[in-house]
Chain A
Amino acid sequence: GAVVSQHPSRVICKSGTSVKIECRSLDFQATTMFWYRQFPKQSLMLMATSNEGSKATYEQGVEKDKFLINHASLTLSTLTVTSAHPEDSSFYICSAGTGKAEKLFFGSGTQLSVL
């Protein structure tokens, strides 16, 4: 089946630094990728939709200048958390669709801890 690789799996950083998370579709081309955030014992909340070659579409309440998304190719999307603060600590997950079916394939997630 389709595989989505997400790195790093865990990152600890100091407040004020920026963190980049990569999401790659390994064996298929993903014209659209999605970025979610999940707080403990809560559901996945969609942050933004990333389309290859165009600007990401952000959900209401998500700061686009803080969460920079780049979808440079059909197999790679990156999320950069700029000037991270402790309240940004969360589990970030990407997903991608093949465009041929409704189901999504998810990365393994990135646990971000901001000190």
Chain B
Amino acid sequence: SQKIEQNSEALNIQEGKTATLTCNYTNYSPAYLQWYRQDPGRGPVFLLLIRENEKEKRKERLKVTFDTTLKQSLFHITASQPADSATYLCALENTGFQKLVFGTGTRLLVSP
């Protein structure tokens, strides 16, 4: 069966450290993978998209890697700040243009 797995346990880190979140998938062959941020009671906000032929993508303090052999994406936030505390979702396109399937998300807590 198809699965998108993210660590369901919250990730607690100290301000200034690098946060690394993992997204693993099975039985998908995505052309691209996306990461979103979701705050409590709000809709997701797009962060980054990485295509299957890209190994790494960066945007300011964010970095995403995509390993289609391992079927895994890693999402890094460097120099983390308390304002980065949120739930981070990975998403794959499934069967149609822009029809996304989401992982369960990992909650990140950055302590001052």
Q: Which residues of A contact B (CB under 8 A)?
A: 4, 6, 32, 34, 41-44, 46, 49, 91, 93-95, 97, 102-109, 111
Contacts and interface: CB of A to CB of B under 8 A. Distances in A.
Interface of B: 4, 32, 34, 36, 41-46, 49, 89, 93, 96-105
13 contacts: A32-B98, A41-B104, A43-B89, A43-B105, A44-B44, A46-B99, A46-B100, A91-B41, A93-B44, A102-B93, A107-B43, A109-B42, A111-B41
Given A103-B34, A103-B49, A46 B101 contact: yes
Contacts of B4: 43
Given A44-B89, A102-B34, A103-B34, A93 B43 contact: yes
A103 B47 CA distance: 9
Contact of A102 (B42, B98, B101, B102): B98
Given A103-B34, A103-B46, A34 B41 contact: no
A97 B104 contact: no
Given A109-B42, A111-B41, A104 B89 contact: no
Nearest to B101: A46
Contact of A43 (B42, B46, B104): B104
Contact of B100 (A42, A104, A107): A104
